[in-house]
Amino acid sequence: MKKLAAVALCVALLSACAHQAPRNPMATWVPSPNFDERRPVVIVLHYTEQDSVEQSLHTLRTRNSGGPVSSHYLVGDDGAIYQLVADGHRAWHAGGGRWGTITDLNSASIGIEIDNNGREPFTEPQVQALLRLLEDLTGRLRIPPSHVIGHSDLAPSRKIDPGPLFPWRRLAEAGFGIWPADDAPPAPEGFDAMRALEQVGYDTTHREATIRAFRLRFRGDAGTVLDAEDLRILHALTLPDQVGLLVPASR
């Protein structure tokens, strides 16, 4: 009995140690209560570009053509939500890119894959499930609801997902991401569109790719030239404090 008790105690102690944060052996551990868990500040949406949830679950636990890949969540076309990586861990979903001043998106984001091959509309159960998941993540992890972006937004020269069929306006109407109001005024003469794109968060190093990413999100096409409507949208997106320029103006 004594042996069994000793073994149980050792197992308990090892288990407790396994859940503690790693400590630097060079330093004396003098713990402070003044800390918080590292938290993501952006949510990145993807489409899987595969034919089934089963295929995507396999890929996200193994690798694709570029190597090992993962995501925090996968949303099936039937509305089922799968979690593959803990919220506090760094999933491998974003790759190289930039959004605003953030250059390591994997370290700063939650990745959500959506079961869609890129050529078909997103299903109603899927959109409803995504909205529930966004409500949970933004509330629980204190991520600003406006900080919901697409993979193509952070990597315009490499990616096009979640694609032109993704319902960005509907997300904005539910309080996630950004969208211009229908009655937002035209951009003033001399409006600097490229600077506005940078203000929104885009990397403008590759001009045509950046414009394509912007139009995929706000116009639903892959155009690479900005027109007056694009300028109107950009002007609205860079004036978030003016009532009525964003939908919704607040949550």
User: Is residue 37 flagged as an active site residue?
Assistant: no
Residue of 54, 113, 120, 198 marked catalytic: 113
Going by their DSSP bridges, the two strands 148-150 and 63-64 should be labelled as unpaired
Distance (Å, whole) CA 192 – CA 229: 14
Q: What number of CA atoms fall less than 13 Å from residue 222's CA on the CB side?
A: 11
Question: Under DSSP, is residue 63 helix (H, G, I), strand (E, B) or coil?
Answer: strand
Exposure b/e, 108-120, CB count within 10 A at least 16 = b: bbbbbbbbbeeee
Please give the Cα distance from 191 to 231 (Å, whole number). 8
The strand pair at 81-83 and 63-64 is best described as: unpaired
73: tokens are 């969540």
Burial class of residue 193 in the structure, from the number of CB atoms within 10 Å of its CB (0-12 exposed, 13-18 middle, 19+ buried): middle
3-state SS, residue 180:
strand
Number of other residues whose CB lies within 10 A of the CB of residue 172: 20
Phi, psi of 194, deg, nearest 5: -70, -40
- The tokens describing 54, both together, are 């089963």
Cα–Cα distance for residue pair 248/251, rounded to 1 Å: 7
What positions carry a catalytic annotation? 113
